[in-house]
Chains A and B, each alone.
Chain A
Amino acid sequence: MKQKLLTAIAATMMAASPALADLVIVDTSYRTGPYAANGIPFSDGYQDYFTLLNERDGGIGGEAVRVVECETGYNTEKGVECYEATKGEGALVYQPLSTGITYQLIPKATADGIPLHTMGYGRTSAKNGEVFKYVFNYPANYWDGASLAITHLVEQNGGSLDGKKVALVYHNSAYGKEPIRTLEVLAEKHGYELMLLPVDHPGQEQKSQWLQVRQQRPDYVLMWGWGVMNQVAVQEAVNIRFPMENFIGIWWSGSENDVKPAGDGANGYKALTFHNVGSDYPIYADLAKYVVDAGKAAGAGDQVGSVLYNRGMYAAMLAAEAIKTAQEMHGVSDITSQQMRDGMENLEITEAKMAGLGLPNFGPEFKVSCQNHGGNGFGAVKQWDASAGEWSLITEYYQSDQDVITPLVKEDSAAFAAENNIEAGC
């Protein structure tokens, strides 16, 4: 009874808060739990970019951006609660930063007409915009990542991986399982042997997996990890003296937080990326002036320039550019989530655009279309320099093996369409 009364009071308090007419962006972040080390910098970057736009330009197209933060703890139940709690505020786009929550939200958001941007994560076959009309995963996805890593290894071995053994250490969830199918197809093509080593949530216990690595001596180890799992894996690899330059992480396993705890041992560890590293960009002067020095930075304000901060900022930049595109297309500044979807579908990122935003050469160029919601699959490999304490790109941006990935995307999205009675088409 008491609880019902309190709930009623809370409900009236919620209802009493005024609904403002701005561009609402929901940041479903996680600043608590085993994934917080990676959730915090991403969320800080995401929010700071919108703060910068508000402070410097007065919003986007004259319309202020209001960021609503909701803590998910990387937990799907809380993620659903966040989605339901915030969608009524006029949210334009969701960036769940969790493959598990993405799977929950794909049908819900599609029914509600709110676009999802799952940047470099989520359901890979959402690349097929004919089936997944409200889901976008540009500029790259997991299957691109798997192919990029293998391409890098093929190049290092002079064009062939015959007789080599490649191990995949992965988070035993939808996220970690995503690349397996692609890696299996690529194994047939390039002749390597694939070895699967699942790690259960949250990933603090990996002794047995790395013992297997020690026994079976794979030539290369790929990793699909997140949160505390990354740090533990890098540390374990150091402990068994696995050559770090043969250890490649996906872009979610390549932040400073993941390698710093292992100290000098982590030197040479590689990871993929779809955007540039460091803070040597003109936009950081503006960020310092309008956001950090003004005391308006999200969180503690100590993450500026880190890999995941950059990625959060990049995600916010792509969202802001999509809003601009939508505003131009529809001629209104206060856009709806439907118009946002149109903006995302017609988004084009060019070098000139990025340079104009103060992020020259920050990411690959790409163009979204109704058929292709996933970009072109360009990425690069970066390597950790422990003594300098920084990442640096060691390759140019190169494209994933589209001959392998396109049919896989077609097949998986067709299965989804058949399961859910979706009529594909633009």
Chain B
Amino acid sequence: MIYRESGDFSTTYQQDSQTFPIRFDRYRYYVLLVLAFAVVPFIINDYWVNAVFLPFLIYSIAAIGLNILTGYCGQVSLGTGAFMAVGAYACYKLMTAFPDINIFFHIIISGGITAGVCVLFGLPSLRIKGFYLAVATLAAQFFLVWMFNKVSWFYNYSASGQINAPERTVFGVPVTGAQTEPWAAYLFCLVFTVACAIIARNMTRGMQGRQWMAIRDMDIAAEIIGVNPLKAKLSAFAVSGFFVGLAGALFFAVYLGAVEVGEVFGITKSFLVLFMIIIGGLGSIFGCFAGAAFLVLLPVLLKNVLVGGLGWPTDLAAHLEFMIVGALIVVFLILEPHGLAQLWRVAKEKLRLWPFPH
């Protein structure tokens, strides 16, 4: 009744091919953007930004990156954590080597550097596929983490092997370091997240995305119809690496401020981001957000309800949290193997017909 397409007529090609062809969808999207940019910054506090919004926004970018590689191009990667580490360490080296350049550019350049590293580790994908490629990227995961621990140049020879983000400002407002206001950190990440989502969305529905999807669905057939597998696969690795690197740089510089590579960017991070896109939905930009929200917000919510609300012991709550999140993952995968994005798609189909399904 409310959500329908009747009366929505496209009279130009542009109207017909826009991201949200249904008017209601479009307005919802605009309202969300206005809320995110103009309302949330005024009501946000330290807790909400550090426990909820920053991890959600940053993991969303990482999930978009991995989704391009795995969901759109079909190349399974278990190296996301290490590629985030590349972004983080690149950002640290840039921040300390060129303190006068704006942090905004440092983060983008870090993404670029990660893209390069990602392409390097993507080269084997031209010869090996599936599980074997997963193992090759797993090697990247362990090699890069080992390297960042071993070579002290990466952490400027500090005694502890930690990297610490010095204070950097954008338009005179600090966005990294301890003096950062919650709204500044939030807005800084939000700008990156929204830009990444728009770029990724448009890339994946254009020619590039179609090439990736052709490779994903059947690489030999794709090659026969004229898709260059070398270009398609490596471009997927590059674009994916760029987004993952951005996420890693933001994760280090804005969110945590101090990073220890083995703990923060270990194999568990790779799995976490992989679970995000599997639960959210492979091959869907909305799915990246849904998956990130599910795996970031649910544990925080459960903890607040069980410990803060019900007053249960913290260890019991922590164990229950694992069990509940794990059980929900299994339930979702059984009931809807295509993830939350598919659930959302089905809901929309139903809503279009509601209340007269016949």
A residues bordering B, Cβ < 8 Å?
3, 6-7, 10-11, 13-14, 17, 29, 31-32, 36, 40, 69-71, 73, 75-77, 80-81, 84-85, 87-88, 99-100, 103-104, 106-108, 110-111, 123, 172-174, 177-178, 180-181, 198, 200-201, 299, 412, 415, 419-421
Q: Enumerate chain B residues within 8 angstroms of A108, measured Cβ to Cβ.
A: 178, 257
A254 to B300 CA separation, bound complex (whole angstroms): 34
CB distance from B28 to the nearest CB of A (A): 11
Let me know if A104 and B258 touch, CB within 8 A: yes
Partner of B47, one of A71, A85, A177: A85
Let me know if B159 and A75 touch, CB within 8 A: no
Let me know if A84 and B301 touch, CB within 8 A: no
B residues bordering A, Cβ < 8 Å?
46-47, 50-52, 55, 149, 158-162, 164, 166-167, 177-179, 256-258, 260, 262-264, 266, 293-294, 297-298, 300-301, 303-305, 307-309, 313-315, 317-319
Let me know if A172 and B314 touch, CB within 8 A: no
Q: Enumerate chain B residues within 8 angstroms of A13, measured Cβ to Cβ.
A: 304-305, 308-309
Let me know if B47 and A173 touch, CB within 8 A: no
CB distance from B255 to the nearest CB of A (A): 8
Task: Determine which residue in B300, B307, B318, B319 has the highest number of CB atoms from chain A within 10 A of its CB, and name it.
Answer: B318
Partner of A69, one of B46, B158, B300, B314: B314
CB distance from A367 to the nearest CB of B (A): 27
CB distance from A122 to the nearest CB of B (A): 10
A108 to B318 CA separation, bound complex (whole angstroms): 25
Classify the interface of chain A: helix, strand, loop or mixed: helix
A87 to B304 CA separation, bound complex (whole angstroms): 15
Let me know if A172 and B309 touch, CB within 8 A: no
A303 to B44 CA separation, bound complex (whole angstroms): 42
Let me know if A201 and B262 touch, CB within 8 A: yes
A/B interface sample: 11 pairs, CB < 8 A: A3-B298, A71-B315, A80-B50, A85-B308, A87-B46, A103-B164, A103-B258, A123-B160, A173-B262, A173-B263, A415-B158
Question: Given A84-B46, A85-B47, do A420 and B167 touch, yes or no (CB 8 Å)?
Answer: yes
Q: Enumerate chain A residues within 8 angstroms of B256, measured Cβ to Cβ.
A: 76-77, 80, 104
Q: Enumerate chain A residues within 8 angstroms of B309, measured Cβ to Cβ.
A: 10, 13-14
12 extra interface residue pairs, beta carbon distance < 8 Å, beyond A3-B298, A71-B307: A14-B309, A17-B308, A40-B315, A69-B314, A70-B314, A81-B50, A84-B51, A85-B308, A103-B258, A107-B178, A108-B178, A177-B160
Classify the interface of chain B: helix, strand, loop or mixed: helix
CB distance from B181 to the nearest CB of A (A): 11
Let me know if A71 and B317 touch, CB within 8 A: yes
Q: Enumerate chain A residues within 8 angstroms of B315, measured Cβ to Cβ.
A: 31-32, 36, 40, 71, 299
Q: Enumerate chain A residues within 8 angstroms of B179, measured Cβ to Cβ.
A: 111
Q: Enumerate chain B residues within 8 angstroms of A87, measured Cβ to Cβ.
A: 46
A201 to B297 CA separation, bound complex (whole angstroms): 26
Partner of B162, one of A69, A172, A174, A421: A174
CB distance from B156 to the nearest CB of A (A): 9
Q: Enumerate chain A residues within 8 angstroms of B55, measured Cβ to Cβ.
A: 77
Let me know if B263 and A201 touch, CB within 8 A: yes
Q: Enumerate chain B residues within 8 angstroms of A3, measured Cβ to Cβ.
A: 293-294, 297-298, 301
Let me know if A100 and B260 touch, CB within 8 A: yes
A180 to B303 CA separation, bound complex (whole angstroms): 38
A70 to B51 CA separation, bound complex (whole angstroms): 14
Across chains A and B, which 4 residue pairs bring their CB atoms closest together, nearest first? A31-B315, A107-B178, A174-B160, A71-B314
A73 to B303 CA separation, bound complex (whole angstroms): 13
A84 to B52 CA separation, bound complex (whole angstroms): 11
Q: Enumerate chain A residues within 8 angstroms of B266, measured Cβ to Cβ.
A: 201
Q: Enumerate chain A residues within 8 angstroms of B264, measured Cβ to Cβ.
A: 76-77
Let me know if B317 and A14 touch, CB within 8 A: no
Let me know if A84 and B161 touch, CB within 8 A: no
CB distance from B272 to the nearest CB of A (A): 10
A172 to B150 CA separation, bound complex (whole angstroms): 10
Q: Which residue of A lies closest to B49 (CB)?
A: A84
CB distance from A40 to the nearest CB of B (A): 8
Q: Enumerate chain A residues within 8 angstroms of B164, measured Cβ to Cβ.
A: 103, 107, 419
A32 to B318 CA separation, bound complex (whole angstroms): 7
Task: Determine which residue in B177, B260, B293, B313 has the highest number of CB atoms from chain A within 10 A of its CB, and name it.
Answer: B260
Task: Determine which residue in B160, B264, B297 has the highest number of CB atoms from chain A within 10 A of its CB, and name it.
Answer: B160
Let me know if B301 and A10 touch, CB within 8 A: yes
Question: Given A71-B318, A84-B50, do A174 and B260 touch, yes or no (CB 8 Å)?
Answer: yes
